[in-house]
Amino acid sequence: MEFAVKLVYFLCFCFLWYFTPFSTWVLNCVVYMVPRSLDTSIGNSGAGSQHYRIVRKYDNRLSSIGMKLVSALPPALTSGYEFSFQCIDEKYVNAFAYPGGKIYITDELIQDLQVTDDELAAVLAHEIGHVVHRHSMKGLIEPGIVAIAWHAIFYEDDDDHKESFGEAIGEILMKNAALIASLSFSRAHEYEADLEGWSAMLNSAGYNPVGMITFI
């Protein structure tokens, strides 16, 4: 009987995904069911697989600006995450975020571009926006959402703990955490991260939003 109920759930899910215009809504609902604590576990695993070389001389500057931006957001958006901000020794201009709050910025971006605090705040605010809107989690789930949902509904790991649907998805995604580094965001996600940074963080944290424009 339990198998039959799960099968009905799965068939209903497939109908919603393929035959209604609410695929984005369905994706958001699936991601919402994954506990934020699993974002952190997946992000830590993904970042750990890359073996970044950390440049420590920027630790205080990055942490000071980053945490000031985080504190400007409503607690409901940031609870459950573990934010950290570090510079890595890479010879290209980039910044990126992992689920759960690990944010990295390259030495080339800080040093060669000689960014001001306002510009650096704009970059970090954008990456924080990706974290709080769970864009990486959506990027991991969306391409194989039907297969992931199927495995989550029938998920068993023999640990004598009854996983919820969201917990099962999180454990499945953990196996693919290393793929996070290769994800690219949609234009909609990039716009959402910019909007969050501009409207919610830069002004509230006391940084000049023009830094976002001058950096670009």
pLDDT by residue for the chain (216 residues), tens digit each? 467 777 777 777 777 666 765 567 777 777 787 888 889 988 998 898 888 999 999 999 999 999 999 999 999 989 989 999 999 999 899 999 999 999 999 999 998 888 999 999 999 999 999 999 999 888 877 766 656 665 666 665 555 556 666 676 666 667 666 667 767 777 888 888 887 777 768 878 889 888 888 887
SS3 content of the chain, % helix, strand, coil (to 5): 65, 5, 25
Q: For residue 32, which of 140, 184, 130, 137 has the smallest C-alpha distance?
A: 137
Residue burial 51-82, b: 16+ Cβ < 10 Å; e: rest = ebeebeebeeebeebbebbbebbeeebbeebe
Residue 120 phi/psi, 5-degree rounding, is -65, -40
